[in-house]
Amino acid sequence: MRQKTYPSDMSREQFAHVQPILEQARKRTKPRRVDLYEVWCAVLYVLRT
The pLDDT of residue 46 is 92
The pLDDT of residue 1 is 59
In a domain, 46, yes or no: yes
Integer angstrom CA distances of residue 48 from 7, 23, 27, 45: 9, 23, 27, 5
In a domain, 1, yes or no: no
Question: What pTM did the predictor assign?
Answer: 0.71
Domain count across the chain: 1
Instruction: State the pLDDT confidence band at 14, using cuts at 50, 70 and 90.
Output: very high
Taking the C-alpha atoms of residue 45 and residue 49, their distance in angstroms, rounded to an integer, is 6
In a domain, 21, yes or no: yes
Angle at 25 between CA 42 and CA 35, to 5 degrees: 35
Taking the C-alpha atoms of residue 36 and residue 14, their distance in angstroms, rounded to an integer, is 13
Q: Kindly state the average pLDDT of the residues 4-33.
A: 83
In a domain, 40, yes or no: yes
